[in-house]
């Protein structure tokens, strides 16, 4: 594709995703547009050695999509944090953005909490973690230390029944379904795929990491963000999300190929 066409496509992509992804659109075109927008922002982040251009846009865009979403009757409220006692996975820039969001004076306490949590959760599989009810180390008095920068999986964790959440995330709980509008699940999948595709296109892993291990890898390093953007694998040895690269699934691979087809 010629440079002028690419610029025109970039402008159209930005216009298309101005109100965030719309799960009800259902045809993948917005996900493809967002994937390309995010890829340009990965490059901008690499040039500026700062994760802010990519993750600032990503988080704001998801906020917009949720703000303009149809009304759902959700039980979620401030201080309700049963869902913060579960396996969390996040992609590399999300983890780096969480770290960036923590005030410097809080980082040591956060690292201590992360080390303590990791001593319990280590490399355990999500199946084993389910039912342990281990709190996220970023949870302080039922509030997230990194609320404004929390990963997509947390931002889209909603429920229509807080009592069921309390049962589902309690220690020893068996498999209890959480009633949640499919809107949020589809939204999560769309943002997850768009970010994964942007990262893959730029040569980074498309998969997510287990959050405690990933935080542990970056919280103690002052240069983690610049090092990752420069290509160092600062997450080496961190447990990847078991589902791995989402583009191993044919339907996701088709979306990825369509994004860069021209």
| Coil, strand or helix at 102 | coil
**Closest distance of CB 180 from ligand SF4, Å:** 7
Interacting stretch for ligand SF4, rule CB under 6 A, among 6-14, 61-69, 132-140, 235-243?
132-140
> Which helix (DSSP H) or strand (DSSP E) does residue 211 occupy?
helix 211-219
Tokens 């795929």, residue located: 193
Map the footprint of ligand SF4 across residues 223-252, applying CB under 6 A. Answer: none
Residue 42 found at the interface with ligand SF4 (CB under 6 A): no
**Closest distance of CB 188 from ligand SF4, Å:** 12
> Which helix (DSSP H) or strand (DSSP E) does residue 143 occupy?
strand 143-144
Residue 136 found at the interface with ligand SF4 (CB under 6 A): yes
Mark 53-92 with x for binding to ligand SF4 (rule: CB under 6 A) and - for no binding: ----------------------xx---x-xxx---x----
Measure the CA–CA gap between 188 and 256, rounded to whole angstroms: 17
**Closest distance of CB 158 from ligand SF4, Å:** 5
> Which helix (DSSP H) or strand (DSSP E) does residue 140 occupy?
strand 139-140
Asked if residue 21 lies in contact with residue 194, where contact means CB atoms within 8 angstroms, the answer is yes
Nearer to ligand SF4, 31 or 154 (CB): 154
Structure tokens given for 232: 């160092």
Structure tokens given for 63: 């906020």
**Closest distance of CB 9 from ligand SF4, Å:** 34
Total residues binding ligand SF4 (CB under 6 A):
19
Instruction: Name which of 193, 183, 206, 189 is nearest 255 in CA terms.
Output: 193
Measure the CA–CA gap between 183 and 73, rounded to whole angstroms: 12
Mark 138-177 with x for binding to ligand SF4 (rule: CB under 6 A) and - for no binding: xx----x-x---x---x--xxx--x--x------------
Map the footprint of ligand SF4 across residues 90-109, applying CB under 6 A. Answer: none
- Contacting residues for 86 by C-beta, under 8 A, at least 6 apart: 129, 130, 169
Site residues (vs ligand SF4, CB under 6 A): 75-76, 80, 82-84, 88, 136, 138-139, 144, 146, 150, 154, 157-159, 162, 165
């Amino acid at each position: 594709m010629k440079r002028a066409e690419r610029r025109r496509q970039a402008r159209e992509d930005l216009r298309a995703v101005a109100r965030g992804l719309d799960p009800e659109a259902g045809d993948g075109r917005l996900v493809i547009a967002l994937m390309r927008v995010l890829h340009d922002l990965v490059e901008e982040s690499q040039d500026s050695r700062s994760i802010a251009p990519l993750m600032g846009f990503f988080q704001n865009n998801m906020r917009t999509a949720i703000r303009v979403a149809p009304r759902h009757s959700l039980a979620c409220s401030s201080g309700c944090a049963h869902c913060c006692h579960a396996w969390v996975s996040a992609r590399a820039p999300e983890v780096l953005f969480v770290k960036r969001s923590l005030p410097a004076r809080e980082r040591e306490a956060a690292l201590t909490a992360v080390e303590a949590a990791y001593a319990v959760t280590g490399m355990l599989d999500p199946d084993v973690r389910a039912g342990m009810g281990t709190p996220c180390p970023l949870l302080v008095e039922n509030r997230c230390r990194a609320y404004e920068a929390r990963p997509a999986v947390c931002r889209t964790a909603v429920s229509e029944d807080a009592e069921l959440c309390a049962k589902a995330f309690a220690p020893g709980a068996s498999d209890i379904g959480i009633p949640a509008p499919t809107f949020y699940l589809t939204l999560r999948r769309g943002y997850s795929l768009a970010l994964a595709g942007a990262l893959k296109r730029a040569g980074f892993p498309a998969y997510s990491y287990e959050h405690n291990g990933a935080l542990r890898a970056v919280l103690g390093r002052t240069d983690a963000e610049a090092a990752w953007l420069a290509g160092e694998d600062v997450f080496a040895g961190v447990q990847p999300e078991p589902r791995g690269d989402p583009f191993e699934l044919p339907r996701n691979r088709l979306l990825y190929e369509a994004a860069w087809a021209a």
